[in-house]
Amino acid sequence: MSAVIQDYNRPAIPIDQIVDLQRYPLAERQSSARHQLVRTCQQQLREDGCVVLKGFVRSDALERLEAETDRLSSHAHYNSSTTNIYNSEGDSSLPADHPVNIFNSRTNGFVAGDMIPEGTLIRSLYQNRAFQDFVAAAMEEPVLHAYADPLAGLVVNCLRPGCEHPWHYDTNDFIVTMMTKAPEAGGTFEYCPKIRSPEDENIPAVSRVLKGDRSLVRALDLQPGDLQIFYGRLSLHRVSSVEGERERHTIIFGYARQPGFVGRAARTRKLFGRIAPIHEREETAGLQRTDTLKD
């Protein structure tokens, strides 16, 4: 762990060396261009639950961005499991083809945040106030806070060839991600916009998707340097199997509506193979539900 951190013991990188500010004027809070960008993101999120900002990262920073996650990927903790879309147990009282009883294989690798040192592009962007304020504005939130969780706040998701993340919903209401390395083939992000609501699981439509119906499915051509904001709690989504020799790497920027967010210890141990002292102190802390949807 220390070798990685010492190698990148440098000050934060200014945002103008990371983000294409001519295309995405994040720092110009009062400019008409930023206001229009925010309005466009807000509209797409209201309608679709997803917005992708293509070419968010400067072209001259892309090679370094990929190199950072390549270097960190050897520290990823991989876990394999079979799971349904709710990340729950099955229910024998329901039919075998009910979504809660349909299980698929999932293999994911995660580099924990305490492995990602200061002075990297990805940590500099995560901690940048202008970036945080922009994401909050796009989501129509007054403010967003970086996680207090040292493991789950900033994460690199790594998918080796053959890995996939089957259909599922997110535990969090929203997620902010950026691809840093694209596979040779596969690894496609697919989603069904707002297929359920806080009041309705919409089991008939979900069942059709799980049985192969593509009529509600949208696929995104994500490329390194693209920023994605996605409401994954209501939109069923997956990442298809990675093909070829190259891994697929994605940064996950962990923000919360309230300060001090810490993930639950059991889930943290599952994702990273370990917990930090703060998880032991905050065993009962973490996400509080505002709906009755299945996880």
Closest residue by Cα to residue 85 from 57, 59, 115, 106? 106
CATH (one of 3.30.420.40, 1.10.150.530, 3.30.830.10, 2.60.120.620) for 2-281: 2.60.120.620
Q: Is the pLDDT confidence value at 294 over 80?
A: no
212: how many CB neighbours lie within 10 A of its CB?
A: 7
Quick one: pLDDT at residue 185?
97
Mean pLDDT of 214-223: 97
Structure tokens at 164: 């996939």
Mean pLDDT of 70-99: 96
Residue 1: pLDDT band (50, 70, 90) is very low
Quick one: pLDDT at residue 37?
98
Q: How many residues does the chain have?
A: 295
Which of 19-33, 78-92, 262-276 has the least mean pLDDT?
Answer: 262-276
Rounded-to-integer distance, Cα 132 and Cα 238, Å: 26
DSSP-derived 3-state class of residue 112: coil
If you average pLDDT over every residue of the chain, what do you get? Answer: 93
Q: Report DSSP state, residue 174.
A: -
Identity of residue 53: L
- What's the pTM value of the predicted model, to 2 decimals? 0.92
Pairing of strands 218-220, 242-243: unpaired
Identity of residue 163: C
Within 13 Å, how many C-alpha atoms sit on residue 63's CB side? Answer: 1
Which H helix or E strand runs over 138?
helix 129-138
Rounded-to-integer distance, Cα 51 and Cα 157, Å: 20
DSSP letters for 88-100: S---TTS-TTSGG
Q: Where are the alpha helices (DSSP H) in 74-120?
A: none
Quick one: pLDDT at residue 221?
93
Closest residue by Cα to residue 180 from 128, 246, 256? 246
Identity of residue 236: L
Domain segments of the chain: what residues? 2-281
